[in-house]
Amino acid sequence: MNAGVIALVSGIRVFIPASLLGDRHVDDLSQFLKKSINLKIIDFNRQKKKVVGSNRAVIQKEKEEARKNLWEKIEVGQVIKGTVKRLADFGVFVDIGGIDGLIHISELSWNRIKHPSEVVKEGQEVEVTVLDINREKEKVSLGYKKTVDDPWQSGIKNYGTGKIVKGKVVNLMPFGAFVEIEPGLTGLVHISQISDKRINKPQEVLSLGQEVEAKITEIDMEKKKISMSIKEALPIETVEEKNGREKKVDEVIPDEHKEEMNLTLGDLVEKAEKEPVELEAEPEQVPLEDKEDEAAEK
């Protein structure tokens, strides 16, 4: 029966509509076959001998009681288990026992992610930490990333002021570029520290995803900020400089060839007058008659 199921309560048939079998829509009614559930009788017609029950009412009551108890006991810093209910672009909603808490996308991972689906999925059991509670608005902020995985507690130990590091440009802003040196550790290169030459915007010399070398100039553990300088590690040419250098290389012509190409006929004549050229004397030509007479004499 697609409309619902029949349950036997002390030998009495009780009809449970599909919409009242759970707190969510149920597609497969066969999962309730030979299964015991708690019911609340919501309708009884003695003449028609019709009894209607609801499992949803029981579930809702149980959740309300759990919700009330949770609001009385929940505290900031508490670690509790929950179930992922819904994913959104900005974060994840988790049922922590009658209360839906929000894990903001920035609290899902120490790494930069584009969508929560990269970390969790609907229906997944998760362990979360209570970050903030607003009892008036009944809102709870949760955190999923673990303190032990914090790169500012572990990874930062590998770096120090003055060290030259390799990184990838992950964001470009009018005031500078953000360079990631490892997942979770990103430093700012102020626009004045990008190139030896004056530039109007970072895009003139940098692009997203570009690998660069930079020198760490300051580490602020309290504010979790890293300041870096690219020009102190390896100066980067501006686009104009690079284009100019390549153009200059293309225009270079060897001197000896350049001189030959620029000489005209008039230049050659003038050069010959200033620098006389010695020519080899050709053998003296003897008339044919003289050669014959000489041969006769012999």
Q: Is the pLDDT of residue 31 over 70?
A: yes
For residue 225, tell me if it sits in a domain: yes
pTM for the whole structure? 0.54
Q: Check residue 253 and give its pLDDT.
A: 47
CATH number at residue 79: 2.40.50.140
pLDDT digits (tens, 9 = 90+) for 135-189: 888 899 999 987 667 778 777 888 889 999 999 999 999 999 999 998 888 999 9
For residue 78, tell me if it sits in a domain: yes
For residue 190, tell me if it sits in a domain: yes
DSSP string, the chain: -TTEEEEEETTEEEEEEGGGSSSS--S-GGGGTT-----EEEEEETTTTEEEEEHHHHHHHHHHHHHHHHHHH--TT-EEEEEEEEEETTEEEEESSS-EEEEEGGGT-SS--S-GGGT--TT-EEEEEEEEEETTTTEEEEE-S-GGG-TTTTGGGG--TT-EEEEEEEEEETTEEEEEEETTEEEEEEGGGT-SS--SSGGGT--TT-EEEEEEEEEETTTTEEEEESTTTS----HHHHHHHHHHHHH---HHHHHHHH--HHHHHHHHHHS----PPPPPP--HHHHHHHHHH-
List Cα–Cα distances, 274 to 70, 263, 265, in angstroms.
Answer: 108, 15, 15
Q: Check residue 292 and give its pLDDT.
A: 43
Q: Check residue 110 and give its pLDDT.
A: 82
Domain count, the chain: 3
For residue 9, tell me if it sits in a domain: yes
**Do 117 and 97 share a structural domain?**
yes
**Do 23 and 85 share a structural domain?**
no
**Do 81 and 47 share a structural domain?**
no
pLDDT, mean of residues 7-34: 84
Residue 92, beta-bridge partner list:
87, 103
For residue 40, tell me if it sits in a domain: yes
Q: Check residue 288 and give its pLDDT.
A: 45
Return the HEC string of 83-152: EEEEEECCEEEEECCCCEEEEEHHHCCCCCCCCHHHCCCCCCEEEEEEEEEECCCCEEEEECCCHHHCCC
- 């590690």: which residue's tokens? 233
Q: Where in the sequence is the domain holding 178, given as residue range(s)? A: 155-239
Q: Is the pLDDT of residue 291 over 90?
A: no
Q: Is the pLDDT of residue 295 over 50?
A: no
For residue 136, tell me if it sits in a domain: yes
pLDDT digits (tens, 9 = 90+) for 89-107: 999 999 998 889 999 999 9
Q: Check residue 296 and give its pLDDT.
A: 42
pLDDT digits (tens, 9 = 90+) for 238-283: 545 555 655 555 555 455 444 454 555 566 556 556 555 454 444 4
